[in-house]
Structure 1
Amino acid sequence: MRHSRGTSLRALALASLSVVALLGAAPVEAAKTSVTLGVRLEPPHLDPTAGAAAAIDEVVFINLFEGLTQVDRDGTVKPVLAESWTISDDGKTYTFRLRDGVKFHDGTDFNAEDVKFSLERGKAADSANAQKAKFEQIETVEVVSPTEVKVTLKQPVGDFLTFLGTGDAVIVAPESAADNKAKPVGTGPFRFGQWVQGDKVELTRSADYWGTPVKLETATFKIIADNAAAFSSMMAGDVDGFPIFNAPENLPQFAADPRFSVVVGTTEGETILSTNNAREPFSNLKVRQAIAHAIDRKALIDGAMFGYGTPIGSHFAPHHPAYKDLTGTYPYDLEKAKALMAEAGLADGFKATLKLPPPVYARRGGEILASDLKKIGIELELIPLEWAQWLEQVFKGKDYDLTIVSHTEANDINIYARDDYYFNYQNPDLKALMAKLDATSDPEARNALYGEAQEIIAKDAVNGYLFQLAKTGVWDAKLKGLWEHAPVQANDLTGVYWED
């Protein structure tokens, strides 16, 4: 009896200790399954196939919409809706084997008919696609079977698979395409939740996604245009991060705080003083050369971007293997700039307008450039525009003298060969060179042609080449998986998770 009683007392004591331990233990927190990211600009709509604004892709590309291929975080091309492909010996015909069993978010099946519809829609006469010229290189799209499609090009296009991996070339369904601007329907790992205009866009995890399920259940893109508000929202924990934080002067403060990670990478964003080459006096090469000599890139990067940015002398990304450093073509030289103005018959200068979209690099950069150009007699009127105004007046209407914008599309030097592009630049030699580039698939040969193209536009001073935009990200130190670099316009959330 004593033994039994002792055992009972001992068991009771152990049980009591267990209860105490349980009561005193800190509660185990489940890993977060939601994320709120701040973005500077609100997208004008949510259809990446019907607009040039990077803000569209930054919310829905990869997350909600997918293409046959995808440009991944390291710049390589990987299969997505196409699981494999073959290319004909002449480089003109691509046969894609499609993934079977994929569904759009509205429950309709994805198949070769959707691919045919999407590619033909991109090159249609009424296409609103910002890369319509790329689609026009397609001769025919043939449905071989529900899981096989054959695309024949008018001529070989060396970067065709890369183009198919951008937001402009995502696959949409005929049943929902017309409504994608407000109610987007794709095949991605997230589906559309809601868009509270002026405030946020919410995405939710797609339960029947064909690929690897994402770890996040919900993702919110919070629109915060004001830099001070962006800083406050991070410090207060109202947002979990900014893939691109637009006030670089705040980055040292974030870097000194262990709560945050500051991650600085590169982008495809060539930031330029875009010039209307068809409007006098900018149609005069000597005037454009004078402007190029009057730009102090280092002062601009330091003053507008607090040192974050890489000087460029042409429209090409410094991290690309074909990049040529042409910053020495027009070095900062005010005396040379004044001499060129005199040679152009404009020794007394002239007045012009500089239309500025919302980003910091444009607004701050505009003030610095206005000061630079005033030194050679060019008086600039600064005209701030919202993005919708900029797209309407400058990009579409070509109603401008000068503007500042970062071109964030990958490998887009081909825009200089387009007759209807807003630069209004015409050079038959460059057009011939770009046609040759399109027909070339060998990487070394393509890189050589890229080098020649860079030299042509640099010597012609088509635009004022300023700097490559840095990707200055800041986010919660426990948030993992966001991209360091930006080879395409995307905030890919497929690999994002919270560290315990």
Structure 2
Amino acid sequence: MRMTRGKAARGPVLVLGALLAVTACTDPTQQGSGDTGGAATEGEDSGAGSEVVIATGGEPDSFNPVLGYARWGDGKVVEGLVRLTAELEQEPLLATDLPEVSADGLTLTFTLREDVTFHDGSELDAQDVVATYETAIDPETASPVAADLTALEAVEAVDETTVRFTLSEPQSSFVAATVLGIVPAESLDPEPAASADVVGTGPYTIETYRPGERVVLEGYDDYWGEQPQVQRATFVFVEDDAARAARVASGEVDGALLPAQALDRVEQDDDFKVVRRDTADFRALVLPEEHPVAGDPAVRAALHQGLDRQALVDGALAGAGRPAYGPIPPEAPEYADVVEVEIDAQAAATTLDEAGWVEQADGTRARDGQRARFTLMYPAGDTLRQNVALAVQAQAAELGIEVEPEGLSWEAIEPRMREDALVYGSGNPYNADLSTYPLFHSSRAFQGFDNPGGYASEAMDAALEDGRSAQAEDERVQAYQRVQEQLAQDLPWVFLAYVEHDYVIRADTWSGWDVPLVEPHEHGLQGGPWWNLPAWTTTDPAG
């Protein structure tokens, strides 16, 4: 599906396999090292507040949008045809308007802005959009974004500023998926010149990138939109929660993602403000289909019935969350309470009894010589997931199920997801389709961190496909009712909680960051108060 590219060669190029360091949020693998480069206001020739240093919990596995970077937009370096607002609405970005959609829903036509240049000085045109999308859906790319674009049959450049998408069937979530960042056509050639530079159209360029340590973003002088007042932003990658809290306490950073348990001392510090964001970010137990215990329907049902989610929120999350029973948040129109369950430890015990899981002298159950035991993996250094794993261990023990938490690097976790359970995080508030299809459709089984347990159900596939193609709202709601009914029946995952995201930011330095944002799971460079970093304004200390 690759197009013939006739544009002149550009300067820096983007290598599809470059920058593969660690995956963001679901895969924060490396702890930051080295100094932060100083406080945010120490930059040469810069005014107070024009620089910021932020400690995040992980780094992107790539800054290439085709490989999943900034999947929900707000890439700062790259931009899509549309963006998603704090009000969860779609608005044009590189396009002049939302697309013109044909009556049958199969053709969407975008008109591009004419005043946009890439960071190498070349002009954005329709060929760049075509190349980006064709590469994203090319099976050889193995892009996680491909799961959001399954209906895309063809994309063509009608002229230099007009792009037409043709779908094989209507896809209600397609416009939301066009947040995909656009990169130059030449940077997606099969054998580009080696470079670690990302060529985007965003308000920032990558000035410095040190894998496992930091990325420094610098304002792009020829940005087509308004120049950001924060001209330099350093994101320090610090996987360990305690290490991030220490950097805040020492004054090394101006903002950070912190676990709720670390907020007490910061709340007493007048130099910082604490920010808590509502989210659609869930934590769940992914139970591999092939495991003799975690894959057993009775064990899954017992965990679903017997785990006290509110107690887990109050303890493991320090109250910073709410119980979850499925991937679609209760505020969404597609939500169905069929996934909910009354916590009943006795009913859970009866379920295990009836399935032949017999309680042994030590309190652990067994069946046919198989102990009711499984390993529960979580990323080492992630305090929240560790606490969730420990809470599950304690509660499951009361049911006679032995859970062994194991903290590992993401490199160690990924190859074991077929065999061992995992504390998983995902979710977005934007679209029910995009928050369920990649996780539960059989075509996504073992595709990176999509459907890591290998769940496959023809009934689920049909419901997901109906939801994706539905054009009428009532049809969508009915399809996702079936999706949730199937989840409640099969219980491939046990959902536990939606977690709130907690951040700190230096007080009285910037304005404009405090917006009513409901965050998705991804919240490294994209989330938090720095979600809208280009819109920040500096606060005059004398004012």
Q: Check whether TM > 0.5.
A: yes
- Equivalent position of 2:405 in the other structure: 382
- Give 2:323's match in structure 1, choosing from 311, 319, 328: 311
Q: What is the deviation of 1:457?
A: 0.8
Distance 1:314 1:171, change over 3 A: same
- Equivalent position of 2:361 in the other structure: none
SS in structure 2 opposite 1:171?
A: coil
- Equivalent position of 1:460 in the other structure: 490
Find the aligned partners of 1:495 and 1:388 in 2 and give their Cα distance. Answer: 36
SS in structure 2 opposite 1:37?
A: strand
Matched, 1:351 2:362: no
- Give 1:35's match in structure 2, choosing from 52, 74, 79: 52
Contact 1:276–1:422 (CA under 8 A) maintained in structure 2: yes
Distance 1:418 1:487, change over 3 A: farther
Contact 1:314–1:326 (CA under 8 A) maintained in structure 2: no
Contact 1:355–1:400 (CA under 8 A) maintained in structure 2: no
Once the two structures are superposed, the pairs formed by residues 194-209 of structure 1 within 5 Å of their partners are 194-209=208-223
What is the count of residue pairs matched by the alignment? 458
Structure 1 length normalisation: TM-score?
A: 0.85
SS in structure 1 opposite 2:115?
A: coil
Q: What is the deviation of 1:325?
A: 4.0
Contact 1:338–1:376 (CA under 8 A) maintained in structure 2: yes
Larger Rg: 1
- Equivalent position of 1:417 in the other structure: 441
Find the aligned partners of 2:505 and 2:330 in 1 and give their Cα distance. Answer: 26
Q: What is the deviation of 1:100?
A: 0.9
Structure 2 length normalisation: TM-score?
A: 0.79
Find the aligned partners of 2:405 and 2:307 in 1 and give their Cα distance. Answer: 17
Matched, 1:49 2:60: no
- Give 1:400's match in structure 2, choosing from 410, 413, 419: 419
SS in structure 2 opposite 1:82?
A: coil
Distance 1:403 1:326, change over 3 A: same
- Equivalent position of 2:4 in the other structure: none
The one-letter amino acid paired with 1:499 is T
- Give 2:391's match in structure 1, choosing from 357, 368, 390: 368
Distance 1:143 1:115, change over 3 A: same
- Give 2:139's match in structure 1, choosing from 125, 133, 141: 125
- Alignment gaps of 5+ in structure 2: 1-45, 359-364, 367-371, 446-450
Matched, 1:176 2:187: yes
- Equivalent position of 2:231 in the other structure: 217
Find the aligned partners of 1:272 and 1:257 in 2 and give their Cα distance. Answer: 34
Matched, 1:451 2:443: no
Q: What is the deviation of 1:181?
A: 8.7
SS in structure 1 opposite 2:403?
A: strand
Q: Deviations over 1:379-427 (max 9, x none)?
A: 222221223333x325xxx433211011144531123123323232222
Q: What is the deviation of 1:60?
A: 8.9
The one-letter amino acid paired with 2:505 is W
SS in structure 2 opposite 1:254?
A: helix
Matched, 1:337 2:360: no
Once the two structures are superposed, the pairs formed by residues 152-301 of structure 1 within 5 Å of their partners are 152-165=166-179, 169-177=180-188, 182-242=196-256, 244-245=257-258, 247-301=259-313
Distance 1:286 1:425, change over 3 A: same
Higher relative helix content = 1
Q: What is the deviation of 1:59?
A: 12
Find the aligned partners of 2:452 and 2:271 in 1 and give their Cα distance. Answer: 44
Q: Deviations over 1:5-36 (max 9, x none)?
A: xxxxxxxxxxxxxxxxxxxxxxxx94420111
Contact 2:107–2:164 (CA under 8 A) maintained in structure 1: yes
Which deviates further from its counterpart, 362-371 or 149-158? 362-371
Contact 1:271–1:468 (CA under 8 A) maintained in structure 2: yes
Contact 1:278–1:425 (CA under 8 A) maintained in structure 2: no
Find the aligned partners of 1:461 and 1:238 in 2 and give their Cα distance. Answer: 45
- Equivalent position of 1:495 in the other structure: 535
- Give 1:101's match in structure 2, choosing from 115, 119, 127: 115
Q: CA RMSD in A?
A: 2.4
Contact 1:430–1:453 (CA under 8 A) maintained in structure 2: yes
Q: What is the deviation of 1:486?
A: 4.3
Find the aligned partners of 2:266 and 2:121 in 1 and give their Cα distance. Answer: 44
SS in structure 2 opposite 1:235?
A: helix
Contact 2:116–2:201 (CA under 8 A) maintained in structure 1: yes
SS in structure 2 opposite 1:494?
A: helix
- Equivalent position of 1:14 in the other structure: none
Q: Deviations over 1:89-143 (max 9, x none)?
A: 0011000001113111122221111111111111112123113132231111111
Q: What is the deviation of 1:74?
A: 2.1
Distance 1:263 1:324, change over 3 A: farther
Distance 1:325 1:495, change over 3 A: farther
Distance 1:444 1:241, change over 3 A: farther
Which deviates further from its counterpart, 120-129 or 455-464? 455-464
Contact 1:71–1:487 (CA under 8 A) maintained in structure 2: no
Q: Percent identity?
A: 27
Q: What is the deviation of 1:62?
A: 2.5
The one-letter amino acid paired with 1:307 is G
Distance 1:145 1:496, change over 3 A: same
SS in structure 2 opposite 1:353?
A: strand
Find the aligned partners of 1:195 and 1:60 in 2 and give their Cα distance. Answer: 20
Q: What is the deviation of 1:433?
A: 1.7
Matched, 1:428 2:458: yes
Distance 1:146 1:102, change over 3 A: same
Find the aligned partners of 1:344 and 1:437 in 2 and give their Cα distance. Answer: 34
The one-letter amino acid paired with 1:279 is H
Distance 1:290 1:180, change over 3 A: farther
Contact 2:313–2:320 (CA under 8 A) maintained in structure 1: yes
Contact 1:295–1:332 (CA under 8 A) maintained in structure 2: yes
SS in structure 2 opposite 1:447?
A: helix
Contact 1:352–1:380 (CA under 8 A) maintained in structure 2: yes
